Structure 1
């Protein structure tokens, strides 16, 4: 015997309720509003600017004198961050990246210390420890990564940091799966966009979305 519509209706209502509940309780939110530096701090007079919904850092006309970072005012613990990134430049050291679980240094004040999801020749989608251990902690296969990235064009970057485990993805491909073994390394800090010094280079980022998993404040 086939069930009547009246018999199916309660199940449909329950399904619709939970579907709507899931959709409305997502914790993903934009990290950049596309129009202002609200929630961010840095050298917004000379190094960082906003154009057409993008954050732009550096210059293709003049050599970037030193590393510089646009940094969130808030700290974040466990999270999933997604963004689009494009790096341009042909002269000098062309490099950028996304800092996380990081802090600004007092000397020099423009530098940061912490993890960096790196982005640049020889460092594509690798994990670097900026101004701390000063080394690459994990990196993808140097040949394979060149099949996954779009040099000079937009790339989808994803950073998943949770319980000391860091996973990086570029254009849907996992490039890093690293677990921090040093209990003294903070798993909380600011997020920052870097433009590296020493080259005529410009980084552009847009569509930044973050989902806090736990530990943020």
Structure 2
């Protein structure tokens, strides 16, 4: 009960911080690009879905590059245990525009990776693994989970349903780059991002 109360208070604080922070340009359809067969806007939500294995990880990418920011959203991920996987790239780079492949730090989600910071396409691989014992107490499988990301300088903070999973500096963090949402190669999956709130801290 105490943990749930603390998590609720933490979420309330995050919502308050975003009360006057929305960046209307971030969610503009003109600010996003990717393979249309997999991605779509539905109102203010973004949905990624595959009906068959695409054969590669592909991303829905912001056209704008960002440095410091806060990103807060609810996310629902469905798929098999091992292939229901997604994530949010921060300060990343598109290296294959035909397939929208991306490399850079990824705020991970799926199976035991929820809340980890992973180096997608980076030689470092896992940058910081979340503690599953902490995440599993608040994670809601096959339902919407509250996901919070803050990037300032070299520091990255990640919270899942109010529980902090990453909060430290990373020397390998690029100075700027796109934000991108992932569809993972493998069996059919769907990821829904809703209630998206973005604050550009560099402005």
Give the TM-score of the pair, scaled to structure 1.
0.77
* Total equivalences in the alignment: 185
Q: Which runs of 4+ in 1 moved over 4 A?
A: none
Are residues 39 and 167 of structure 1, via their aligned partners in 2, closer, same or farther at CA, if it must alter by over 3 Å?
same
In the alignment, what sits opposite 1:82?
A: 72
- Residue in structure 2 matching 1:63, options 20, 33, 53: 53
Could you say which residue in structure 2 is the equivalent of 1:3? none
1:32 aligns with 2:15: no
Q: Which residue of structure 1 lines up, in the alignment, with residue 160 of structure 2?
A: 170
- Unaligned runs of 5+ residues in structure 2 are 1-16
Q: Contact (CA 8 Å) 1:138, 1:178: kept in 2 or not?
A: no
Give the TM-score, by structure 2 length.
0.82
CA gap of 1:134–1:48, structure 2 versus 1, over 3 A, is: farther
Q: Residue 134 of structure 2: which of 144, 150, 171 is its match?
A: 144
What is the rounded CA distance, in whole Å, between the counterparts of 2:191 and 2:181 in structure 1? 9
1:98-145 Cα offsets, whole Å, 9 max, x none, are 011001013874210111000011211100011112511112211221
Structural mapping, 1:168-207, within 5 Å: 168-182=158-172, 185-207=173-195
Distance 2:38 2:195 in 1: 20
Distance 1:172 1:207 in 2: 16
Structure label with greater radius of gyration: 1
